[in-house]
Structure 1
């Protein structure tokens, strides 16, 4: 069945006028009428009621029956076209923690795409449970998080780690090296990075005290760092980006070092078709974090 004829029929159904159907297809009314007659001839039935003096058209019972069939047919045509186009690309779906996505992946993915123009990424952010669920369900090909969790159909591997850096603004009165006793919990921009970090944090500060603000992503901290004594512990890769972007920020050295955050790659146990590209992505992340650690 000719998709062009079905598309024209569906436009007539949508607008209920030959003239508007023609306008939407950028063809003449005569061309629309010709296509409709050809379709009716192929099917051997009349699809619309032609009544003189009426601006709108109505469907015959054959036309009404054809509508859902034509819609399904056109959907298959679009899916087939998309399949042909997508076959020329490597489509990688990545789920990650926002701080990983907006720091490391924002550097790595464009580099890989320049090396291989057929690469296409879909990046989605979420918490650890969401990331594992996306990979488990196939919504994502790979996930990156600071949490290592157990799921029956999932493999996890620590591919690197992120050191936490203490950042504040240039107006703060902190010396370059500080201890936890010099940092007020009430001035903290707090993010619960993972369980190990939370355990360390509880030993250093009273968890009953209210911080300045609680966030779920390090990329949201900039407005809150404008408070004079505000401070925060964030992944090193993100800290480097923020320090380059905003000259009003500075880093401090914390005597009591927090535990490093493991960067965990999350994949299904049964490898997918893009396994090679996933391994390249993991390798690039390891390499980039190694460079940052050496700075």
Structure 2
């Protein structure tokens, strides 16, 4: 099986967007679609559910299972490519939420990479995936948005910020705190980040 097919699916499974996958891999959207179709043919299963125009994509049950396999293969491929340099450098792999990565860690990375003996690898993932990969020793340290109880992983809070709601709704302006139940679900913009996110959202 061609690794490029698996790599394309791994990126798509994270982004759930053909457009973003094409941008990350420097491919056309048609090339992404072709690779996905070829991978599904080789596996003999359907990995994603395609909606009209490819704007909304979700993984099938088989896709969710193959996602972890694809990520494992991706990590092994990275290790093979970097094998020659591992003996002379220290390797640090960080898993981090995309928003935190973009806004808080740029200066930290620059400082770390000034040490030529450190090989730094950054993986942007969702919180649950970071916990899973830390537990599996795929990544060394993770930065997440919320706590998931685990006896195998040491956790420490390093930053807390209040969320601010900007609104013109006079019924909400003078309230000291806002709960999700106070907001109308029909006015929300829903981002499909997978079945676990959808399940959690339905409980609010």
TM-score of the superposed pair, with normalisation by structure 2: 0.41
Higher relative contact order (CA 8 A, sep 6+): 1
TM-score, length of structure 1 as denominator length: 0.29
Larger proportion of strand: 1
Larger radius of gyration: 1
